[in-house]
Chain A
Amino acid sequence: MRALRQGKGLSQQDLGQALGVSRQTVNAIEQCRYDPSLPLAIRIARYFGTTVEEMFHVDGD
């Protein structure tokens, strides 16, 4: 997610505002410290014009 965000020239704060979450939550997702809920994952994927499967990977897959 970090690469996509930086590719759009967005800060974590900008992305957080666009997604309706805090800057810290964006950071936690990027650091793999927090797994977003399915609705948020879908919002993130839609925001970047991609799919949830391409954005997020389950360990072991």
Chain B
Amino acid sequence: MSTGTEQGTGTGDGGRRGGGWAVPVTGVLIGCVYLAVFLARHDVPMALFGLGVMVAYVVALRLFSGRWETAALLGGDTGDERRRAIDERAAATTLRVLAPVLVVGFFVSAARGTGATTWAMLSAVVGGVYIVSTIVLTRRG
């Protein structure tokens, strides 16, 4: 049995229930930025495609979040401790995949002599955030 730190408050969750608006707004915002970037490059089809994909993604999450738990989670509904645990494990899995990819990408780019700076910066950000997070979380207990 896991031992969470939450207190017995009756509802017992500090997560977001119902998904809120953070994920939909962020999704549409990314779509709008995508639109602006490609319109600036006079690439209208790609601009509309990018916005359309993001809007479709947000709408799909809203439509299916009631009956499909995965959609609810992707939509930001971390309303109870199990969903928060799934969210945290998914994030940790993503990091475990992403970190080696960034390091390998850096070495491959460095070996080819092509733009290793971006890989190095991304690797440094991931590594730095991980180190700082570990320090903070360790002190919090």
Contacts and interface: CB of A to CB of B under 8 A. Distances in A.
B4 A40 contact: yes
A21 B11 CA distance: 8
A58 B1 CA distance: 8
A20 B3 contact: no
Interface of A: 19-22, 24-25, 28, 34-43, 56, 58
Given A20-B80, A37-B3, A37-B6, 4 more contacts: A21-B81, A35-B2, A37-B2, A39-B7
Nearest to A52: B1
Contacts of B1: 35-38, 41, 56, 58
A28 to B, nearest CB: 6
Which of the listed residues B10, B13, B83, B85 has the most CB atoms from chain A within 10 Å of its own CB?
Answer: B13
Chain B interface main SS type: loop
A25 B12 CA distance: 13
B69 interface: yes
Interface string B1-30: 111101110111100000000000000000
B112 to A, nearest CB: 46
Interface residues of B, number: 18
A39 B79 contact: no
Contact of A25 (B2, B6, B82): B82
